[in-house]
Amino acid sequence: MAKIEIYSLVLGSFFFDFLIGDPSFLLHPVQIIGFWIDKFTKTYLKSLKGKNLQLLGGLLLLISTLTLSYFSGKYLELKFFQSGGNLFWGISILIGLSSCLASKSLISSVKEISYLIKDESLDEEPNQIIIDKVQRLVSRNVSSCSKENLMRSATESLTENSVDGIFGPLFWIFLGAFFLNYSIYLPGPLSLGFSYKALSTLDSMVGYKYKPFKYIGFFSAKFEDYATYIPSRVVVLTLPLVSIKIPNYFKLIKKAFSEGRQYESPNSGISEAIFAHIANIKLGGENKYQEKIILKPILNDKGNKCNRDSITHICNLIIRLEFLWLIFFSLIFFIN
């Protein structure tokens, strides 16, 4: 397969997601994956009890979901190659790759929340529409949050999910493109993109540390951490390059890793920390999960409160970083 064909599919999917996002008339792969995860989990939890059985069920869920996702992507890749670059299969791959990314949907959702909060009087309690929109983005309970905490929750979701929803899948899609350049039987951009998206969906649906998902989601959460480990660190190392704070590059990196390591998650802390320092905002603090209050370490303690301008700034950073990654990928892909 010619390099230009592989590159065209990746480039096309990048701009399709950036400009169009997820068309509402198309069935999204996450809907299929989510349906399978939901049915498997509910059936298993009803039938089998006990830590060991639920750990085993979680392992089976992880393997089956990854297998389904990987070979779905590989099937489309092989059909495209075997057909000599048939347009139908090419468009299928392009849309499939685009579905692995969440640039437009994530940025649009958080910006909408920031405008709704900004447009409301600060003296009023946040209305249910805002609370519902924030709740769809986060796993914490925001039903009783103030507008300030809703803005912070949306910002933290934006910084963390930019890795899970944009840069994580981009990393694996780029890696698959390199593999595919050597052999059509190696993991390709769609098979790896679908696999990462499946992992991310598993983590968001069952990757919790509290019941009833504590054991059945254990392996999914751990595996997602491993899959996101490198992409999250590449984000930390490259984000300062698209900001005006590039002269403080090494200081920013040191702060991000120093403060981010305090988080239980090996990835979310450092990704939130680098955004916090570059956008000069304060993140972390009190969060409610189910009925339990958890205090997360403070990131950039001297930073400003989250607001609409800081969200706009972060969205612009994300867009610039996406294009920087695309430039790096293009150079390495064609030089290799």
Contact between residue 34 and residue 205 where contact means Cβ atoms under 8 Å apart: yes
- Give this prediction's pTM: 0.94
Q: Which helix (H) or strand (E) holds 272?
A: helix 268-279
* Residue range 10-48, pLDDT digits in tens: 999 999 999 898 877 777 888 889 999 999 898 888 877
96 Cβ contact partners less than 8 Å away, ≥ 6 residues apart: 13, 29, 73, 76, 190, 193, 194
- Mapping DSSP to helix (H, G, I), strand (E, B) and coil, where does residue 21 land? coil
Measure the CA–CA gap between 154 and 150, rounded to whole angstroms: 6
- The β-bridge partners of 288 are 293
Domain assignment of residue 325, given as a range:
3-335
Reply yes or no on whether the pLDDT at 310 is more than 70: yes
* Residue range 92-146, pLDDT digits in tens: 999 999 999 999 999 999 999 988 887 665 556 678 888 899 999 888 888 888 8
1 Cβ contact partners less than 8 Å away, ≥ 6 residues apart: 81, 85, 180, 181, 184
**The predicted structure's pLDDT at residue 2:** 67
Beta strands in the chain (DSSP E): 283-289, 292-299
* Residue range 253-309, pLDDT digits in tens: 999 999 999 998 899 999 999 999 999 999 998 888 777 788 889 999 999 999 999
CA-nearest of 85, 88, 104, 107 to 96 is 88
Domain count, the chain: 1
- The larger pLDDT score, comparing residue 21 to residue 231, is at 231
Structure-block tokens of residue 56: 């085993």
Measure the CA–CA gap between 317 and 204, rounded to whole angstroms: 24
